[in-house]
Amino acid sequence: MKYYIIAGEASGDLHASNLMRQIKKNDNMAHFRYWGGDLMAAEGGQLVAHYRDTAYMGVFEVVKNLFNIFRNFRKCEKDILNYQPDVVILVDYPGFNLRMAKFIKRSGFKVFYYIAPKVWAWNRSRVKKIRKYVDRVYSILPFESDFFAKYGINAIYSGNPLLDSIDQRKHKIETGEEFRHRNGLTNKPIIAMLAGSRKEEVHRLLPEMVKMMPHFPDFQFVIAGAPSFTMSHYEPYLQNVKEARVLFDETYSLLQHAHAAMVTSGTATLEAALLNCPQVVCYKMWGGAFTDFMSKRVIIKVPYISLVNLIMQREVIKELFQSTFSTEALLDELKKLCYDESHRNKVFKGYEELSFIMGGPGSSERTARLMADALSE
């Protein structure tokens, strides 16, 4: 069969490449054409456009590149019509992909969506587009299939690709002592700091995390460096705390060997949980009381901000968000995570339940098999 895949970011390139590898196992006549990156290209087929040339972040970048964005829509539409695929697989990247879904469906092609937009959290108007223009949704969060079903959308939870990545990590045996020695760390237990991958997040949250250091003299603090950052991004926040360390490309190992972690909301909260690292979730936006009201009542439509609590539908890990975030609250929870064994055990128990609900590794394999079944109907 002929598969056309659209992935517009680095994470999409990773997950789509894993999916392509599994599709080939089910379909030895598979032909691929795609928008993506180097990892997808390594699986074969024809790369039409690289995500580094098509992804625009922030309002200013989008406005500045409107002409290029519309040109990309036209280019993609024309390319799909010329290729005549059996199915188009959209991978995340909702701003571009939902617009393309409308064109693709109206042109008579099947549309599958892998890693659907988080419409359960914000922008629920997109639900109508998904229902109208997408044939099947393959979700990566357990609660999403029930959410989509309420709107008449054919969705199935096929596992989370994070489980595959973490399963591979667990097979790499390295003791905490070996990890610390390899990275030039002391023998003190580690408190990890994951302050986000955006400059604004780091600017707001890292100073608050650094304030914790004097209160935990028996621990060492280590920052998980974001992939798009360099040491120069972190240096301004560490001038008065020379003992803090920054490690790049070590996030999973860091979480695996940390005693506790301070984590911004997002995928990192789920990664920390699956790696069994007790954590407190921190998030704060600019804007004071008004932003707090808007975020709770208008923008965010869910009771929790961390994926861990959303999946469990209860508070397994403490969330400090907007009005509940303060230096004192962060200090209080971090002390519990570091010194209160009963509190730590309660978190670990929640993590065990989470792992059971999430299922095991093999997400890409299951998704490819489900897609093959759907295409044969």
Tens of pLDDT, residues 142-167 = 999 999 999 999 999 999 998 988 88
Whole-number Å distance between alpha carbons of 253 and 168 = 12
pLDDT at 173: 78
Contact 317, 350 (CB under 8 A): yes
Dump pLDDT digits (tens) for 206-262. Answer: 999 999 999 999 999 999 998 878 999 999 999 888 789 999 999 999 999 999 999
- State residue 284's pLDDT score: 80
**Does residue 291 carry a pLDDT above 90?**
no
User: How big is the chain by its Cα radius of gyration, in Å?
Assistant: 22
Give the DSSP H or E segment for 4: strand 2-7
pLDDT digits (tens, 9 = 90+) for 85-133: 999 999 999 989 999 999 999 999 999 999 998 888 777 889 999 999 9
- With contact defined as beta carbons under 8 Å apart, do 169 and 158 qualify? no
DSSP string covering 204-237: HHHHHHHTTGGG-TTSEEEEEE-TT--HHHHGGG
244: which 2 tokens? 């803090």
Residues of the chain above pLDDT 90, percent: 73
Please give the mean pLDDT across all residues of the chain.
90
pLDDT at 3 over 80: yes
Q: How confident is the model at residue 299 (pLDDT cuts 50, 70, 90)?
A: very low
- Residue-level pLDDT at 69: 81
**Residue 289: band (very low, low, confident or very high) from pLDDT cuts 50, 70, 90:** very low
- Which residues are within 8 A (CB) of 242 and not within 5 positions of it... i.e. 6 or more apart? none
pTM above 0.85, yes or no: no
Q: Which residues pair with 282 in a beta bridge?
A: 264, 320
* pLDDT for 288: 46
Residues 6+ apart with CB under 8 A from 189: 218, 219, 220, 258, 259, 338
- Long-range CB contacts (within 8 A, 24+) of 178-181: 179/253, 179/256, 179/257, 180/257
Backbone angles phi, psi at 94, to 5 degrees: -65, -35
Please report, rounded to a whole number, the percentage of residues in the chain having pLDDT higher than 70. 92
Location of structure tokens 């932003």: 291
Q: CA-to-CA distance for 314 and 329, rounded, in angstroms?
A: 19
- Work out the pLDDT band at 55, boundaries 50, 70, 90: low
What SS3 state is found at 36? Answer: strand
Spell out the domains of the chain, with CATH numbers in brackets. Answer: 2-159+362-376 (3.40.50.2000), 165-358 (3.40.50.2000)
368 burial type by CB count under 10 A (0-12 exposed, 13-18 middle, 19+ buried): buried
- Find tokens 């999916």 and name the residue: 19
The stretch 339-366 carries a mean pLDDT of 96
pLDDT 10s digits, 267-281: 899 999 999 999 999
